Amino acid sequence: MGKRIPVAVLGATGSVGQRFVQLLANHPWFEVAEVVASERSVGKPYREATDWRLDAFMPATAGELIVRDYGDELHSPVVFSALPGEVAEEIEQRMAREGRAVLSNTSFHRMDPDIPLLIPEVNADHVAAIEGQRKKRGWSGFIATNPNCSAIHMVLTLKPLQDAFGLDAVIVTTLQAVSGAGYPGVPSLDMIDNVVPYIGSEEEKMAEETRKLLGSYENGAFVDAEIVVSATCTRVPVRDGHTEAVSARFTQSGVTPDDVIAAFQSFKGKPQELGLPSAPTSPIVVRPEKNRPQPVLDRDTERGMASVVGRVRPCPIMGVKYVLLGHNTVRGAAGASILNAELFKVEGLLPV
């Protein structure tokens, strides 16, 4: 590796923060130079401040970093944010004002009219909103966000269908993994021999984020796609990997499961064109088996960066239905922010 761009991770000791540190450990372009966390951790080596829970050992170099305070002057031009929603607003905006590129996994700014909500395979052109954002807010840096962990995988699979057949409506039921709620997150008494059929705000996010993601950026404004999403979100006893049962209705008639499979399999986006380091070879992997995808088997497909689809078949009411699975803390969180940063780098938009 040559000289890498120093990056800071905000909220570095939490679940998504740890995933950032893990995924960036051997990144060819970026290097974790600063870890920032709440008061309790400040001043300690990251190794001591963090109850590392992703595998046996945290990356050695990250472990030596001293945890910084949110108020500290950072030197990294690129910032990955895994901040809790309540504190994200002020800190992320300050970082952008200071000229940094803020790649945020937090929900706070996702629906702002001048902040892009990005999936590089889906709406890379929304990057154009950065210019207006800077002008309007007087920032030299910027904020870009990635979607909710359930929305991102669903939208990745909807994009080729929208392009090929026109998309009108989607009914989805999710079976979501517990890592989506962080640590300590979901109590084990809720998850042993049980399902919880509710996740706060999740169903609303799936509807509104989908419309923004599949919409356009025209004349300086985001225009929502006219797609109705009806979601039921549940929590199931799975560590990682959200499963989603999707029924899609198209504007075009006569769309068959084979048409849908073909659209999935031929789907490529900007990250694949550009060969971005974190890009999956295939953003959508179709499994032919009748009982796939399954979280424990399929969540690490393409290093967790792909959506895995199976059971594509007719829906007698909507058109076509299928089951998808995606890793919720890789492509559904930290990996999504990192792929966005890679896109910005290639676009020449990082302040480096």
**C-alpha–C-alpha distance, residues 229 and 101, integer Å:** 31
- Which amino acid, one-letter code, is at 280? P
Query: Binding residue for a second copy (CB under 8 A) from 126, 321, 327, 345?
Result: 321
Q: Which stretch binds a second copy (CB under 8 A): 153-161, 212-220, 225-233, 255-263?
A: 225-233
Q: Is 211 in the site for a second copy (CB under 8 A)?
A: no
The answer to whether the CB of 337 falls within 8 A of the CB of 103 is yes
**C-alpha–C-alpha distance, residues 64 and 348, integer Å:** 31
**C-alpha–C-alpha distance, residues 248 and 231, integer Å:** 12
Name the token pair of 329. 């803390």
The answer to whether the CB of 38 falls within 8 A of the CB of 62 is no
**CB of residue 144 to a second copy, shortest distance in Å:** 29
Which phi and psi (to 5°) does residue 192 adopt? -95, 120
Q: Which stretch binds a second copy (CB under 8 A): 39-47, 109-117, 304-312, 330-338?
A: 304-312
- Which amino acid, one-letter code, is at 285? V
Taking the least distance from each CB to a second copy, the nearer of 57 and 138 is 57
Return the SS3 of 271: helix
Q: Is 134 in the site for a second copy (CB under 8 A)?
A: no
Q: 167-176 and 216-218 as β-strands: parallel, antiparallel, unpaired?
A: unpaired
Q: Facing residues of 156 across strands?
A: none
**C-alpha–C-alpha distance, residues 158 and 156, integer Å:** 6
Q: Which stretch binds a second copy (CB under 8 A): 84-92, 139-147, 180-188, 253-261?
A: 180-188
Q: Is 261 in the site for a second copy (CB under 8 A)?
A: no
The answer to whether the CB of 32 falls within 8 A of the CB of 21 is yes
242 flagged as catalytic: yes
Which phi and psi (to 5°) does residue 135 adopt? -60, -55
Q: Is 238 in the site for a second copy (CB under 8 A)?
A: yes
Residues 47-66 that bind a second copy (CB under 8 A): 53, 55-57
Residues that bind a second copy (rule: CB under 8 A) add up to a total of: 61
Taking the least distance from each CB to a second copy, the nearer of 73 and 193 is 193
Query: Binding residue for a second copy (CB under 8 A) from 81, 146, 210, 301?
Result: 301
Residues 139-178 that bind a second copy (CB under 8 A): 169-171, 173, 175, 178
Length of the chain: 352
Contact characters 276-295, a second copy, x per CB under 8 A: --------------xxxxxx
Name the token pair of 317. 């009411």
Q: Which of 27, 109, 126, 149 is catalytic?
A: 149
Q: Which of 27, 126, 242, 327 is catalytic?
A: 242
109 flagged as catalytic: no
Query: Binding residue for a second copy (CB under 8 A) from 1, 73, 138, 184?
Result: 184
> Per-residue b/e over 295-313, b at no fewer than 16 CB within 10 Å?
beebbbbbebbbbbbbbbe
**C-alpha–C-alpha distance, residues 182 and 326, integer Å:** 17
Interacting residues with a second copy (CB under 8 A)? 53, 55-57, 169-171, 173, 175, 178-179, 183-198, 207, 228-230, 232, 234, 236-239, 243, 245, 247, 249, 290-298, 300-301, 308, 310-311, 315-318, 321, 323
Which residues belong to the active site? 149, 242
